[in-house]
Amino acid sequence: MTPMVEWLKAAVLEVQEYVRLQGAVVRATFSRPFYYRDIVEQFDRIGLGTLTVVVLTGFFTGAVLALQSGITLDQFGARPFVGRLVSATMVKNLGPVLTGLMLAGRVGSGIAAELGSMAVTDQINALRALGTDPIRKLVVPRVLAGFFMAPVLTVIANAVGIFGGWIIAVLQLRVASSVYWTSVVDGLYLQDAWMGLIKPFLLGFVVTTIGCHEGLRTRGGTQGVGRATTSAVVTASVAVIAVDFFTTRLLITLLY
């Protein structure tokens, strides 16, 4: 059998296992038992633990967006519209995508490393031997935390990014503060807000499920944990970009 066929078989099997994990997560989410303590703990770890990174990323993204777009808008005499460009770009696309990428780098890798370490040391098998479903105990709390905290982090990133753009607009571009904020409001529509809120739910779900999938299938000791962590970050980052594209295309069709 040729290497290409082997690679295709492995890829199809990988996708199949990932889809099966998603189905198991959905079933376990809506049936007992529920591990409330683990869910609250993951909300804290994924939400508050990622907050600093998201705030810094959002701030500097909004600042550099205002700085660069201001130079471009000067060519058309449209510098006062910099707020409109910053707000629309952050809310509709950059906020959700950057938050998803930060989650992939911090949360996805952490989940893969944690579950991978448990897998190679037979702790997951021990849970099964004790009658505990690893999907309910380990995966569902992380997926729920990612699903619900990603939109919250995205809103914070958007707000901080627009604030960073305001600082650059006032101090660097010499745009009046009232003009900037009026432009921010004028540049946003209800459809933009919906797009900026729907995307993070999907991105948070994808990042956490990929991290859990890579962690649970870890083999080969500590080297396997390293490979799983790297694979989780790379796969989740690519998935964030791909899901953002397809979701944007669908939402444009439905909302606009």
Domain count, the chain: 1
9 is a domain residue: no
Per-residue pLDDT band at 256 (split at 50, 70, 90): confident
Please report, for residues 187, 219, 224, the alpha-carbon distance to residue 151 in angstroms, rounded to integers and kept in the order given: 21, 33, 32
199 is a domain residue: yes
61 is a domain residue: yes
- Of 123-127, 153-157, 211-215, the range with the lowest mean pLDDT is 123-127
The model carries a pTM of: 0.89
CA–CA distance, 201 with 48 (Å, rounded to integer): 17
62 is a domain residue: yes
What percent of the chain clears pLDDT 90, i.e. is strictly above it?
38
CA–CA distance, 90 with 193 (Å, rounded to integer): 11
Q: Which domain holds residue 205?
A: 35-255
25 is a domain residue: no
28 is a domain residue: no
- pLDDT, tens digit (0-9, with 9 covering 90-100), for 13-46: 888 888 888 888 888 888 888 888 888 999 988 8
99 is a domain residue: yes
Please report, for residues 14, 36, 53, 190, 240, the alpha-carbon distance to residue 187 in angstroms, rounded to integers and kept in the order given: 42, 41, 27, 10, 25
Is residue 139 pLDDT above 80, yes or no? yes
27 is a domain residue: no
How many CA atoms, within 13 angstroms, populate the side-chain half-sphere of residue 123? 14
